[in-house]
Amino acid sequence: MRIVFEKRQTISNTAVVLVPVVSFIISLFLGGIILLASGVNPFVTYAAMARGAFGSWQVFTETLVKAIPLMLTGLGVSIAFRMQFWNIGAEGQLTLGGVAAAWVALFWSGFLPDWALLPVVLLVGMAAGALLAGVPAALKAYLKVDETLTTLMLNYVAILFSQSLYYGAWRDPQGYGFPGTALFPTAAWLPRIAGRAHLGLVFALIAAALLWFILKYTRWGFELRIIGENKTASRYLGINIGRNIVLALLLSGALSGLAGACEVTGIARRLQQGLSIGYGYTAIIVAWMAQLNPWAVIFVALLMAALLVGGDQVQMMMGLPAAMSLVLQGLLLFPMLAGALFTEYRLRIVRSTPQLQEARQ
C-alpha cells in the first residue's frame, strides 16, 4: 500500500481558496502551541493581538504604517515573480530608494522650487530602486546570470552603502551622537494622512490598481504573463523576452524604491538606521501568499503588518517576547508551502495489485 501524488485533471478552484485559509488556521494552531509552551493562553493572546492591530483608530494607523511599505514592495516583488524572476533584492532596492530620496532632499533643495522638491525626491527614489533591480535583470536577460544571488548580494551592497553615508559623509553634526542625517527640509516631507501613516498608502492603492490593470488589460501585461508561463512559447510568438524582463524589473525596483523614498520622507524624515525592518524579505512572503495577485497583496500586507503591530502590543501588555510576531509570520508560510501542492496534485492511497503495480511503473 502506497500513498501516491496524482496530477489533477482540472485545477481545483476550491483548493486555491481553501489552501491559504486552512494554512492560516494551521499556523495559528502551531503558534498557539508555542504560546502554550510559554505559559500563555493562546486565545487571549490572539484576541489581544487583533485588538492591538485593529482595536482603535490609533493602533490601526500604526498597522497601516507597517503595511504601506509591505504593500509597495510586495507589489514590486509580485511583478518580478510573475516572470519567474526571483527578485530577492527588494530590501536593497527599498534602501537605495531611501538613500536617493535623502540625497535629493538634503542636497537639491537649493536648486528646486519647494513645490517640486517632494515629487523629485520620490521620482529619484523610484529611479534608484529601478536601477538596482535593472542590473541583475540585464545580467539575467542577456548573460543568463542567475538572479537569486545577484539580487541578494546587491541588498548588502545597498545597505552597507546606506550605512556608510549616514554614519559618515552625511552624518548630522548636531546629531547628539546618533548616527543619521540631518532632518529634511519640510518641503521634502511626505504628508501623513492618518496618524503616522503617510501618503504612501494612496500610492500603494494606485499601484495595485495600475498593476491589476496592466496585467489584465494591456498588451504588455499579456506578454508578461505569457513569458512567465511559457518562455518557449513567448519566443515562438515573437515576444521580446530580454527587453520585457528588464522593463518588468525596472518597474519592480521602482516600486520598492518608492517604498523606501516614502518611508524616509514620511516617517523619520531623515536617513537613519531602522529604515527597513526586513520589509524586502517579508514582501516576498506577502507576494507569494497573495499568489501574485495585486489586490491580494494589499490584503496580505495588511495582515502581516497586523501581526507585527499586534505582536508589539501584546509584547508590551503581556510580557511576551517581541519576536512572537516574527515567529508567527514565519509559521504562516510552512503550511501554505506544503499546501500549494494540493492545488495541482491529489493524494491517493494505492493498493498493490498486479495490474495497478504495472500501471504505476
Q: Which segment (174-182, 259-267, 291-299, 320-328) binds another protein by CB under 8 A?
A: 320-328
279 makes contact with another protein (CB under 8 A): no
- State yes or no: residue 229 binds another protein (CB under 8 A): yes
Query: Quick one: CA dihedral 104, 105, 108, 112, positive or negative?
Result: positive
The CA distances from residue 109 to 114, 129, 261, 267, 352, in Å, are 7, 21, 16, 19, 77
**Whole-number minimum distance, CB 146 to another protein, in Å?**
7
Decide whether 7 or 351 has the Cβ nearer to another protein.
7
**CB of residue 214 vs another protein: minimum separation in angstroms?**
10
SS3 at position 2: strand
**By CB under 8 A, residue 226 contacts another protein:** yes
Residue 281 binding another protein, by CB under 8 A? yes
Which residue number, 189 or 281, has a Cβ lying nearer to another protein? 281
- Among 29, 111, 178, 217, the residue binding another protein under the rule CB under 8 A is 217
User: By rule CB under 8 A, what count of residues binds another protein?
Assistant: 74
Q: Is 17 in the site for another protein (CB under 8 A)?
A: no
Neighbours of 253 (CB within 10 A): 34
Query: In DSSP terms, which residues pair with 194 in a beta bridge?
Result: 197
Q: Which amino acid is at 74?
A: G
Q: Letter for the amino acid at 325?
A: S
Tell the smallest beta-carbon distance from residue 159 to another protein (Å): 9
**Residue 324 interacts with another protein (CB under 8 A)?**
yes
Which residue's CB is nearer to another protein, number 75 or number 283?
283
Residue 293 interacts with another protein (CB under 8 A)? no
Q: Which is nearer to another protein, 265 or 325 (CB)?
A: 325
Q: Which residues within the stretch 95-154 sit at the binding site for another protein (CB under 8 A)? A: 139, 143-146, 148-150, 152-154
| Cα 119 to chain centroid, rounded | 23
Rg (CA), the chain: 23
Return d(Cα 209, Cα 214) in angstroms, integer: 9
26-85: which residues touch another protein (CB under 8 A)? 34, 38-39
Choose between 91 and 262: whose C-beta lies nearer to another protein.
91
Task: Name the nearest CA neighbour of 276 among 132, 99, 50, 17.
Answer: 99
- Residue 27 Cα distances to 49, 204, 279, angstroms: 15, 28, 21
The binding track of 146-185 with respect to another protein, each residue x by CB under 8 A or -, is x-xxx-xxxxxx--xx-xx---x-----------------
Helix axes 279-289, 241-263, angle to 10 degrees: 120
C-alpha angle 245/135/101, rounded to 5°? Answer: 110
Site string for another protein, 247-276 (x = CB under 8 A): ------------------------------
CB 325 within 8 A of CB 21: no
Q: Does 356 bind another protein (CB under 8 A)?
A: no
